[in-house]
Amino acid sequence: MANANRVYIFDTTLRDAEQTPGASLTVREKLEVAHQLARLKVDIIEAGFPVSSNEDFEAVRRIGQEVAGPVICGLARAVPKDIERAGAALQDAPRPRIHTFIGTSDIHLAGQLRKGREEVLEMAVAAVEQAKSYCCDVEFSPMDAARTEPNYLNEIIAATIAAGATTINIPDTVGYSVPAEFGALIAQIIDQVPNSDDAIISVHCHDDLGMAVINTLAAIKNGARQAECTINGLGERAGNASLEEIVMALKTRQDYFGFDTEVVSEEIIPTSRLVSRLMGIAVQPNKAIVGANAFAHSSGIHQDGVLKQRDTFEIMDPKDVGLEATEIVLTARSGRAALRHRLEVLGYELNKEELDKVYEDFVELADKKKEVFDEDLIEIVGDSDEATAYYELQYLHSVSGTGTVPSATVRLRIGDETVQQSSWGDGPVDAAYAAIGLACGTEVRLDNYAIRAITSGSQALGEVTVHLSDNGEKARGRGVSTDVIEASARAYVDALNRLKAKSAKEEHPTV
């Protein structure tokens, strides 16, 4: 008999989720996932389908022997050889379970099994009795229960409980049901099957219509006490009910559901990432709970609210699922509050005037990039620390291409004047430098030029470093931009300012 307020979590990632195309795992990988599921503290791990292959048999056997804590379950059709194979795989497991199943809907009886109801009923009872000879814990599933005639469904449930089934799983095998309908089905089974109290009622919902999680929650609300689910919602076709969504729905809305699980929710993100990595299936960014954007805020209004009081725009604490903190994504939509917060995290304490200057540079960069990273901010703050420059690049236009003579036009503020010049060169950078030289009236020498990417992705910031010399004086300049030509021009102008500063010190030495 189940604890009335407890929902048992049956994880079938290693069985049903592995049926996802391209998601096959080795025995070693299955063991790695199983150990993590044990840390997550799921109640039951369905480790595989032992009769399907020697490798699956070995995975179930080793998980049963080596993974402590959860019940270890093997799947078997209602066929003697399947059950015998599952029993052999689990013979050394401290807490074994055999899960046997057979189709019960008229569609399955006629279209797949080609058998009548009485014959299928007898097969189900025989399968449970055989499984019971291998272990005390036996689960039975009437496959496609959501489309099974209700009276026949009740009959086969009563018979398999009488034969020794300790858990009865009600699968929505093809994701056909809707919440009110599925919840009512569970309620009528509990009400009309006379011995339903002798078994835990479980549900296994697929996501073909996008309702696997809500169907599962509706079933729990109506008396189901075991939820079958997978990490990241993986599985056959559109997948299964997502473990993380079920667990966090029950935890977050405990006021509504009134049920608990034993799952250590802080292990959800590590488990999700492990499964994603080993199965080679990325989690969609907007996936609830575990998606990259689930706790990320880019809107300035949302960022300001979350920074002032987290629950204004978050119903869960990210730490509860294994994340360190809410992610404030800096984009063109971010405001000063989010920028100040991120700068403080990076160790910068700016006054209002300094913040306003950095914010202007931030917005200019954010207009060019989808997201501004910490490295970008460090570069922006570093650039803002420079004293007022004698030379300032205000405009740059360059042209280059196959069969085209590279040319550039620049406009600079030089002291109190504005000067514009154009020139050509061997490439767009050379042309820009020639135009800057004409505008400044200088003939400095470029001793060294280097460029590197300082952030990742196709919109990465490029950093250009140049070394200039003029009459024995040397200066280094640095420029940063998503446009390498602009970064090159800024580096050149930066070096000219440093040369100018050195010259000014020589003309007006301090005493």
**Residue 386's pLDDT is what?**
47
pLDDT per position as a tens digit, 379-419? 677 655 444 578 999 999 999 988 889 999 999 999 999 99
Q: What is the mean pLDDT of residues 193-206?
A: 98
pLDDT per position as a tens digit, 412-442? 999 999 999 999 999 999 999 999 999 999 8
* Strand, helix or coil for residue 427: coil
Distance CA 436, CA 56 (A): 69
**Domains plus CATH for the chain?**
8-279 (3.20.20.70), 296-384 (no CATH), 391-507 (3.30.160.270)
Q: What is the mean pLDDT of residues 312-332?
A: 72
Distance CA 289, CA 273 (A): 12
Q: What angle do CA 238, 44, 34 make, to 5 degrees?
A: 80
- pLDDT, mean over the chain: 88
pLDDT exceeds 70 at position 509: no
Percent of the chain with pLDDT over 70: 88
**Residue 510's pLDDT is what?**
44
Q: Are 250 and 314 in contact (CB under 8 A)?
A: no
**Residue 383's pLDDT is what?**
53
The region of weakest confidence among 87-96, 213-222, 275-284 is 275-284
Residue 370 in tokens:
């989808």
> Please, what sign has the CA dihedral across residues 81, 82, 86, 87?
negative
More confident residue, 443 or 130: 130
pLDDT exceeds 80 at position 372: no
Residue 35 in tokens:
């150990």
pLDDT per position as a tens digit, 58-68? 999 999 999 99
**Residue 502's pLDDT is what?**
72
pLDDT exceeds 50 at position 134: yes
pLDDT per position as a tens digit, 105-117? 999 999 888 899 9
Most confidently modeled range among 18-27, 138-147, 364-373, 483-492: 138-147
**Residue 511's pLDDT is what?**
38
**Max Cα–Cα distance, the chain, nearest Å:** 108
* Length of the chain in terms of residues written: 511
Distance CA 210, CA 236 (A): 13
pTM above 0.75, yes or no: no
Most confidently modeled range among 348-352, 411-415, 472-476, 481-485: 411-415
